[in-house]
Amino acid sequence: MSQKYSPALTQLSDEEQLFRDTVRRFATTEITPLVRQMDESQQMSTAILRHLFQLGLMGIEIPETYGGSEGSFFDAILAVEELSAVDPSVGVLVDVQNTLCINALRRWASEEQKKAYLPRLAADTIGAYALSEAASGSDAFALETRAVKVDDTWVLNGQKLWITNAKEAGLFIVFATIDRAVGYKGITAFLVEKDTPGFALGRKEDKLGIRASSTCELIFRDCVVPASQLLGEPGKGYKIAIETLNEGRIGIGAQMLGLAQGAWNHAARWARERRQFGRPIADFQAMQFQLAGMATEIEAARLLVYNAARLKDAGQEFLKEAAMAKYFASQVAERVASLAVEIYGGSGFVKDYPVEKLYRDAKIGKIYEGTSFMQLQTIAKLTL
């Protein structure tokens, strides 16, 4: 049965509001001055990474016993939204860390693995999630990276593509097949550390947007992983991937929501300051209506994203709502960022102003962690 929307969906508790305001203040004061530099250099600031750990934003749902913040999934969504309003590159780094890597470990890791890795992920280690391959995109389980059992180890061979956080990561959740003949039932997850022999970073992608977020190829050549590094059970990697990606879609929805809000904030400020024909362009009804329509779509996206996150925290079904949130928020982000460029006029087309970057950043929202077509397929399957 479809879940009902709460009339208080966007109302935050005092603790949530304080957390959101803290992240917003950090993003505005610390990240804003570095946005253009990070975009042009295609490099995440080490100072920003350090501050993210110090604020507890890299281990939001990790229990305090492992050195984490012991927050909620909704807290992680708020953090991704606020960071992305300033720089979606920072937003997706925090998103992958929390909604994919940490959630996978919290649910599927052994107690020994949790003790080994959760404190590190909370303190100083970035995680990456390695599923995609050249022939394995929307068909996520067509992967060809292989794992062969040799005594008490697994030997991995293959390549991964489009891996977010790869350059900065110290720990990788890697999906490989142990038996291609059985299809998705052969997929298995492994915990691979950056310095593991036989593992290397390959090409770093030169991207259209979110350029400060590293996206790299991973290469495995007789990469020997101890049997103790297997995450979950052999052949159950598909379940880990499905469950974490369902949650990750809400995170991308939050990233796109934050991006749209950031673009709107810039556009509204520009409209109040930019004067034509002797008065601010915000005085013209056409401009007011455009900004009003953008604000309405952003609020609708926020309701979808928050609802999906609240359902997840409540332990209720959220698959359809996650797909809707990711699909709609990515549509809104691209549309709002495009209109923001138009509101800036010629100034919006140059890098001296922030909306040009947000417009470039928005495009990926319809593509990664499940394309818009895949979200629509999920929505159709669950509603028809």
Kindly state whether residue 294 falls inside one of the protein's structural domains: yes
Q: Of 98, 126, 154, at which residue does a domain stop?
A: 126
pLDDT computed for residue 133 by the predictor: 96
Could you say which residues of the chain have pLDDT below 70? Answer: 1-8
pLDDT digits (tens, 9 = 90+) for 82-141: 999 999 999 999 999 999 999 999 999 999 999 999 999 999 999 999 999 999 988 888
pLDDT computed for residue 141 by the predictor: 81
pLDDT computed for residue 1 by the predictor: 39
Q: Are residues 290 and 203 in the same domain?
A: no
pLDDT computed for residue 9 by the predictor: 72
CB 58 within 8 A of CB 121: yes
Kindly state whether residue 1 falls inside one of the protein's structural domains: no
Q: Are residues 113 and 140 in the same domain?
A: no
Q: Are residues 28 and 132 in the same domain?
A: no
pLDDT digits (tens, 9 = 90+) for 137-162: 888 888 999 999 999 999 999 999 99
Q: Which domain holds residue 188?
A: 128-237
Q: Are residues 105 and 66 in the same domain?
A: yes
User: CB-based contacts of 202: which residues, under 8 Å, 6+ apart?
Assistant: 159, 216, 217, 218, 219
Q: Are residues 200 and 300 in the same domain?
A: no
Q: Are residues 343 and 267 in the same domain?
A: yes
SS3 call for 148: strand
Kindly state whether residue 343 falls inside one of the protein's structural domains: yes
Residues 359 and 334: their CA atoms lie apart, in Å, by: 7
Q: Is residue 201 exposed (0-12), middle (13-18) or buried (19+ Cβ within 10 Å)?
A: middle
pLDDT computed for residue 177 by the predictor: 97
Give phi and psi for 272, each to the nearest 5. Answer: -75, -30
Which residues form the catalytic set?
369
pLDDT computed for residue 10 by the predictor: 79
| Half-sphere exposure in the Cβ direction for 350 (13 Å, CA) | 4
Domain count of the fold of the chain: 3
**CATH code of 250's domain:** 1.20.140.10
Kindly state whether residue 51 falls inside one of the protein's structural domains: yes
